[in-house]
Amino acid sequence: MAAYTGDDNCEMCDDVPELSDSDDEQWQSMEEGSENKTVLCLLCDRTLTSVSEMVQHCKADHGVDIPELVQKHRLDDYGYIKMINYIRTTKCSAESLLLCSNGPLPWDSDEYMKPALPDDPLLQIDVEELSEAAAVTLSPAASDEVPLLLQRARQAEDRAQRAEEALARAMDDLHKLKLLAQGLVLNADTSRGPSRPGAIAELREDEDEAYFSSYGHYSIHEEMLKDKVRTESYRDFMYRNMDVFKDKVVLDVGCGTGILSMFAAKAGARKVIAVDQSEIIYQAIDIVRSNKLEDTITLIKGRIEEIDLPVEKVDIIISEWMGYFLLFESMLDSVLYARDRYLAEDGLVFPDCCNISLAAVGDTKKHGDRIAFWDDVYGFKMTCMKKAVIPEAVVEVLKPETVISEPAVIKTIDCGSVTVSELEFAVDFSLKITASTFCTAIVGYFDIFFDKSCGNKVMFSTAPDCTKTHWKQTVFLLESPIPVKTGEELPGQIAVHKNRKDPRALLITLEVAGRKQTYSLQ
């Protein structure tokens, strides 16, 4: 189809003669006269004097209400034309016409765009005029009962409803076209097997819709990308250990914008499969294409637990799965699923090791601001609020000088061998105090290691005395400060479990110096 570009010198436009006033009048008279032509009935050999009479005849004698059929099947002008030509071409019965379901219609084929009857008056009106033509034959008595304005209002409402339905169908088609275009950009389809790179799989919605929806917001990805400790550590680990990635097949679980996938591709990976359930995958597609990496990176939308990869095994799994207090969000569960299903026997998971540490905090001012504050709020007692405030773990950047003990590692995780059940645990710990003061809280943080098979090892920490990250630290406020002295050991026990009502959240129970409190991280 040729498109008009607005060019005044268009040769096609020069070949089209202008309509004179007489031509225009003739065209208008032809339109106005279409209603006065005789019309052959759609369902029998009877000839009627007008479209209106034919419509009423079909309804009265054959039990077929043409305007009602148009509305039932939500036909636009093209659908209406196809239906008329189909009826005339196939000479179908009224019964078969009325039995048509809302599924694939028998007249959907473009072959029915060709007029079955030359100069058919039924094809010279649109679907809106058809309803109006049907209304013309109302008896005088009926016309008196239904005011003209009410008729017009109903007709306008019908037209508006059809327009809304047509718009909804157009938006749905546009979405499908978008997915098709993105598939063509990456030149693949997962159904064609592992030899075709750049595949996009459209998968069903999962039960964690709210969680994945949050990762469709660009601000989250901006925050993570701007976290230099996080992003540069992954980059340095891959760029400094290119021998690990050369010619390997890499799986990126929860790829987000695709930054880790692109690092892996630049580090020499032969093929990278990037998986993400959130809508950010569509931006990742554009990003990959913009960086001319679509021949190496395959993008798949869906949960890793619910899709089939275009390969049987991968050599390396990379993922930035860490949440607050390391285990919040439970994304490590998905990485372990991918490991157990797709990782080759001698494959690697990165990061390969991580640990969680605790330390004592002494900050009586902050404790007073957050806990004692409720004893007197503008002259009113709100002490009961303490019971609600204390169990909420606080994610914040802690001042390093408020740490009053040496750290204690409470959990070490080997990502190559740990099981999901081992991510819930209870252990004893002891904190060696470094300052005589009051312990007002316990702080938790984690360290990440890229170590196995790496000649150039990389690690980073989210400890209070290290460069700030978007994970910050997790602070567990004590209900009452505990007096401590330099050199003594502060004993405790910690239990970490998933929240059964929200498996991505954590319940953390701390017992310090005989005082027990359960905190939620959500």
491 pLDDT more than 90: yes
Residues 107, 204 share a domain: no
Q: Give tens-digit pLDDT for 24-81.
A: 444 444 444 444 578 899 899 899 888 888 888 988 888 888 888 888 888 888 888 8
- Candidates 300, 301, 258, 278; CA nearest to 209 is 278
143 pLDDT more than 50: no
Cα distance between residue 498 and residue 491, in whole Å: 24
Is residue 185 in a domain? no
- Amino acid 34: pLDDT: 44
**Pair 470, 227: CB distance under 8 Å:** yes
CATH number of the domain enclosing 475: 2.70.160.11
Residues 496, 358 share a domain: yes
Is residue 148 in a domain? no
Q: Residue 299: enclosing H or E segment and its boundaries? A: strand 297-301
**Pair 107, 55: CB distance under 8 Å:** no
Residue 482 sits in which domain range? 353-521
- Amino acid 102: pLDDT: 65
- Amino acid 199: pLDDT: 33
- Amino acid 267: pLDDT: 97
Residues 209, 125 share a domain: no
Is residue 128 in a domain? yes
Residues 357, 312 share a domain: no
Average pLDDT of the residues in 379-400: 92
Query: Considering only 76-90, 272-286, 483-497, which range has the smallest mean pLDDT?
Result: 76-90
Residues 128, 219 share a domain: no
Most confident of 4-8, 373-377, 451-455: 451-455
Domain end position, chosen among 320, 336, 361: 320
In whole angstroms, how large is the CA radius of gyration of the chain? 35
Residues 509, 363 share a domain: yes
Residues 504, 359 share a domain: yes
- Amino acid 380: pLDDT: 94
- Amino acid 177: pLDDT: 63
Is residue 29 in a domain? no
Band (pLDDT 50/70/90 cuts) for residue 150 is low
Is residue 169 in a domain? no
Residues 511, 406 share a domain: yes
455 pLDDT more than 90: yes
- Amino acid 202: pLDDT: 35
Domain end position, chosen among 116, 137, 158: 137
Higher pLDDT, 396 or 128: 396
- Amino acid 50: pLDDT: 87
- Amino acid 210: pLDDT: 44
Residues 365, 290 share a domain: no
Average model confidence (pLDDT) across the chain:
82
Is residue 310 in a domain? yes
Residues 512, 393 share a domain: yes
Higher pLDDT, 163 or 133: 163
Cα distance between residue 464 and residue 445, in whole Å: 8
138 pLDDT more than 80: no
Number of domains in the chain: 3
For residue 498, give both structure tokens. 């998933």
Q: What residues are annotated to the active site?
A: 320, 329
Q: Give tens-digit pLDDT for 188-207.
A: 433 333 333 333 333 334 44
Q: Hey, is 350 helix, strand or coil?
A: strand
Residues 299, 224 share a domain: yes
Residues 486, 434 share a domain: yes
Residues with Cβ within 8 Å of residue 438, at least 6 apart in sequence: 362, 364, 481, 482, 483, 484
Asked if the peptide bond before residue 17 counts as cis, ω within 30 degrees of 0, the response is: no
CATH number of the domain enclosing 294: 3.40.50.150
CA distances to 155, 256, 296, 395, 470 from 220, rounded to whole Å, are 48, 10, 26, 16, 10
Is residue 102 in a domain? yes
